[in-house]
Structure 1
Amino acid sequence: MFVSEIDMLSPRSLKECLFILENEKSSLRLLAGGTDAVVRMKEGKWRPDYWVNLKHVDELRFITIQKDEIQIGPLTTHSEIINSPLLQAHADVLVQACQEIGATQMQNMGTIGGNIATASPAGDTIPALYALGAVIELTSLSGKRMINVEDFFIGPGKTAAQPNEIISKIAFNVRGKNDIGIFQKLGPRKAQSISIVNAAVTLSMKQGTKECTGGRIAFGSVGPTVIRAKKCEAMLTLGPLTDEMIANIGRVAWKEVMPISDIRASASYRRDMASALLERGLYRLLKRWAEHEE
C-alpha cells in the first residue's frame, strides 16, 4: 500500500476530533503512533475510509500527578514513560513494560493509548495497567466516563469504547512506600518481538518481613484478553513468601491461565512459562525488597 492511497483527517484539538467521530458517516480509525497500523495495512487489514491522525492533538500527551493519582495521556509515547522520573518512582512495572516494547524507534513512536486501543492479548503495557489497578477515561461529545481497565477489554482486538469515544486519560493511584512491582516477558528475541507470555506483578509488603499484605498479578498472551490471576493473588497473603509458598503459587498460575497453541508456542509451553515467569518475578521482587530494607 502506498501512502497516497491513505485518506487522512488531522484534527488540531480533542474537540475537533470528537466532532469528526460523532458526525463523520464514513468508516474511521484513529491513528496514534502508527506502529501497529503499518503492520495491519501490509496484511491487508484495517482499511477504513479515513484515518484520523491524532499527532497534533497535544492535549492528549501528558504525565501528571493530581493529589494521589497518576494521570497519563494516551498520546504519551513509550519512551516518554520510560524516561519519566514520576513513573520511575511510582509505576516501575509500567516503565519496565514499555522498555520491552520493540526497538528504540518503536518506543519513540508507539503510544500507550495505541497499545491499549489495539487490545492485543499480548500487548505489553496492558498487564502492567492491570497490576496497577488502572482506570481508562473515555470521552465523547456528550461527556466522559471512567471504566476499569479489566472491563475495557472484551476480546482480542475488541474494547468497550464506542465509535464516538476516544481514550482521553489513563489513571491509577500513587503506590505506597512498601509497594514494589515487576514486569517480565518471554519472546523469541528480547525486546524485539510479540510476547509468547508476559507477566506483571505488584506487591504491598509488610515492613521488616517477607509477608505480603496484598498484590496484583496479570498475565498476557495466555487468553483472549489479559488474565488477572486472582487465585494466585489470594495466596500472596496466606503467609511469608517462602520457597514453598512461591512454588505453590506457581502451580496455581499453571491452572489459572487459559492459553492456546499457535505458531509461536504451544498451550502447554505457555502454561509452563507463565508459572516460571511468576515464580522468578516473585523471587526478584523479594530480593529487591530485601535490598530496600537494608
Structure 2
Amino acid sequence: MRVSDIDLISPTSVEECLYFLSDKDKSSRLIAGGTDAVVGMKDDVGRPDTWISIKQMKSLRYIREEDDGIHIGPLTTHTDIVHSELLQEKADVLAATAREVGAIQLQNMGTLGGNIGTASPAGDTIPALFVLEAEIELTSLNEKRIVPINEFFTGPGKTVQKHGEMITNIVIHPQDKNEIGIFEKLGPRKAQSIAIVNVAISLKMGSKPRECLGGKIAFGSVAPTIIRSKKCENMLTLGPLDHDVIQDIAGAAWKEVMPISDGRASAKYRRSMASALLERGLYRLLKRWDER
C-alpha cells in the first residue's frame, strides 16, 4: 500500500471527530498510536475509506481520580500508565500490565483506548481492566452511554460499539490499601509478542496470615473474549492461601478456561499454562504481601 492511497483526516476536537464518524456514506476508522492498525494495513485487513487520526487530541489523554473512580483517557499511552503514581498506588495490576505491553517503543505509541477497541482476546491490558471492573464511555453525536467492560466485548475483534461512536473515557475502581494485584504473561519472547496466555489477579487481604477476603482473576487468550475465573475466585476465601489451597485453585483454572488450538499453541498447552501462570501469580502476590 502506498502512502498516497491512504485518506487521512485529523480533526481537532471530539465533536469534529464524531461528525466524521457519523458519515454513513463512507467507512472510517480511528487511529491513534497505530500499533495494531498499521499491521492490519500491511495485510490489507480492516482498511476503511478514511482514517481519522486522533493522536493529537490532548483532551483525551489523562489520568485523574474523581469521586466515582479513576478516569483514564483513551489516548493515554502505556508509558503514561507505567509512570503514573496514582495507578501504581491504586491500580497496581494495570501499571504492572502496561510494563509488559511490547517493547518500549510500542509502550510509547500504543494507547489504552486502542488496546480496548482492537478487542483482541490476547489484549494485555484488558484482563487488568476486568479485575478493576472498568466502565467504558461511548460517545456519539446524539448520546453518551456507559458499558461495563464485561459487556463490551462480543467476540474476537468485536464489541458493542455502534457506528458513529468512539471511546471517550475509561473509569476503573481503585484498589483499597489491602488490595494487591499482578499480571502474568506467557509469550514466545518476553514482553515482545502476543500472549499465548495471560492473567490478571487482584486480591483483597485480611489481617490474619495469608487470609484472603476476596479477589478477582481474569484470563486472556483462553476464550473468544477475556473471561473472569469465577470458580477460582470463589476458592480464594475457603481458607488461608497455603500451598494446598493454591494448588487446588490452579487446578480449577485448568478446567475453567476454554482455549482453542492455533498456530501459536495447542488448547492443552494453554490450559496447562493458564494453571501455571495463576499459581505463579498467587505465590508472587503472597510473597509481596508478607514482605509489607
Structure-1-length-normalised TM-score: 0.97
**C-alpha contact 2:217 2:233 (8 A) present in aligned 1:** yes
* Residue aligning to 1:290: 290
The 1-side partners of 2:144 and 2:202 are apart by 29
Uncovered stretches (5+) of structure 1, i.e. residues with no partner: none
Matched, 1:246 2:235: no
1:73 Cα deviation (Å)? 0.2
Q: CA–CA distance in 1 between the matches of 2:253 and 2:127?
A: 15
Letter matched to residue 172 of structure 2: F
- Alpha-carbon offset, residue 92 of structure 1: 1.2
What corresponds to 1:85 in structure 2?
85
Encode CA deviations 1:177-218: one digit per residue, 9 max, x unaligned.
Answer: 100000010001001100000000000000242111111100
Partner of 1:174 in structure 2? Answer: 174
CA distance in 2, matches of 1:82, 1:175: 16
Tell me the residue number matched to 2:62.
62
Q: Percent identity?
A: 62
Aligned residues: 292
Q: Does 1:190 align with 2:185?
A: no
Q: What does 1:1-294 correspond to in 2, within 5 Å?
A: 1-67=1-67, 69-292=69-292
The answer to whether the Cα contact below 8 Å between 2:132 and 2:174 also exists between their aligned partners in 1 is no
Cα distance in 2 for residues equivalent to 1:247 and 1:217: 15
Give the CA RMSD over aligned residues. 0.9
3-state SS of 1:35 partner: coil
**Which structure 1 residue ranges, 4+ long, deviate > 2 Å from structure 2?**
none
Instruction: Report the Cα distance in structure 2 between the residues aligned to 1:3 and 1:232, rounded to whole angstroms.
Output: 49
CA distance in 1, matches of 2:288, 2:55: 39
Q: Any conservation in 1 of the 2:138–2:165 contact (CA below 8 Å)?
A: yes
Work out the CA distance in 2 between the residues paired with 1:56 and 1:255: 45
Q: How far apart are the structure 2 equivalents of 1:98 and 1:177?
A: 21
| In structure 2, distance between residues paired with 1:183 and 1:2 | 39
Q: In structure 2, list runs of 5 or more residues that go unmatched.
A: none
Amino acid at match of 2:261: S
Map Cα deviations across residues 36-62 of structure 1 (whole Å, 9 max, x no partner).
011111112011000111112221111
Q: Using the alignment, how far apart are the partners of 1:6 and 1:40 within structure 2?
A: 13
